[in-house]
Amino acid sequence: MSIAENVAKIRAQMEQAARAAGRDPSEIKLCAATKMNDAQAVREAIAAGVDCCGENRVQELVEKYSQGAYEGAPVHFIGHLQTNKVKQVVGKADLIQSVDSLHLLKAIDAEAKKQGIRQNILLEINIGLEESKSGFLLTEIPEILENISTYSNICVRGFMAIPPISRNSGDNLKFFQKILHLSVDIKGKKYDNVMVDCLSMGMSNDFMDAIYSGSTMIRVGTAIFGPRDYAVIHQS
Ligand SMILES: *Cc1c(COP(=O)(O)O)cnc(C)c1O
């Protein structure tokens, strides 16, 4: 199957999941998780109509950016970001989805201030309480948002979550629903620099469940591009 055929199939599944949940399919964006795929593959995905691209590694983002790979679609950052690489991402990424610590949030705010821009971010939540994953705890979020007005060069647009790897469909519904409940709570309050309109959750194997639970952005790699060749990464 070509990238275009895969994207068409995913769009049909997105629509089906949205309708089953009584939602408007146009509320849900498709982010192509482009890691380990080259500029040509990225261009094909954009031509096939994905809404945005998400990169995991700063080096890949910078390289493909300079090749003009993202022309026609915004690029997001979705991987773990080290503070010493923040200046390479702020201003290039329309949305930094993977803000996983206050330390990183502060660094992004400072860099955005330097550039004279306002950087859109999502707070990443470690929803499955996994030691192997970074992110905030769900219970930390209200306090962080209480104090967010200090950081006037960021805007918190919502939350990103990667639940544990699931074996069976339905396994992650409970995690997705926790994020949905959090977002409803937060929307009911008024915080400066916070405008929750994005819930980034759902990947190739669980995006239907995520849409059913209120996701507004799914991040899909394998189902668009096919399996990644990890041998390539181990060489570099
Ligand atoms: C790779 C990746 C995805 C996509 O995963 P697939 O299972 O290939 O769809 C989504 N989100 C993040 C943060 C990723 O790193």
pLDDT tens digits for 212-223? Answer: 999 999 999 999
Nearest to 57 by CA among 74, 37, 33, 80: 80
Atom 6 (ligand 1): residue with closest C-alpha?
Answer: 221
Mutate to test the pocket of ligand 1, among 9, 95, 219, 228 (most ligand atoms within 8 A of CB): 219
What value does the mean pLDDT take over residues 62-71? 97
C-alpha 152 – ligand 1 centre gap (Å) = 30
Q: Please identify, by atom number, the ligand 1 atom nearest to the C-alpha of residue 98.
A: 13
Q: pTM of the predicted model, to two decimals?
A: 0.96
Per-residue confidence band for 68, with pLDDT thresholds at 50, 70 and 90:
very high
Q: Which one is predicted more confidently, 43 or 128?
A: 43
What value does the mean pLDDT take over residues 196-217? 96
232 pLDDT more than 70? no
Lowest mean pLDDT among 72-86, 121-135, 222-236: 222-236
What value does the mean pLDDT take over residues 99-118? 98
231 pLDDT more than 90? no
Distance CA 158, CA 199 (A): 6
Pocket of ligand 1 (CB under 6 A): 33, 35, 56, 78-79, 162, 203-204, 219-223
The pLDDT of residue 15: 98
Contacts of 161 (CB under 8 A, 6+ apart): 124, 125, 126, 127, 135, 175, 176, 179, 200, 201
C-alpha 42 – ligand 1 centre gap (Å) = 15
Distance CA 190, CA 192 (A): 7
113 pLDDT more than 90? yes
Atom 7 (ligand 1): residue with closest C-alpha?
Answer: 204
Per-residue confidence band for 168, with pLDDT thresholds at 50, 70 and 90:
confident
**28 CB burial (10 A radius; 0-12, 13-18, 19+):** buried
Q: Please identify, by atom number, the ligand 1 atom nearest to the C-alpha of residue 160.
A: 13
Per-residue confidence band for 59, with pLDDT thresholds at 50, 70 and 90:
very high
What value does the mean pLDDT take over residues 52-59? 98
C-alpha 191 – ligand 1 centre gap (Å) = 30
Per-residue confidence band for 233, with pLDDT thresholds at 50, 70 and 90:
low
The pLDDT of residue 229: 78
C-alpha 229 – ligand 1 centre gap (Å) = 14
C-alpha 203 – ligand 1 centre gap (Å) = 6
- With a pLDDT cut of 90, the percent of the chain lying above it is 89
Lowest mean pLDDT among 32-36, 114-118, 167-171: 167-171
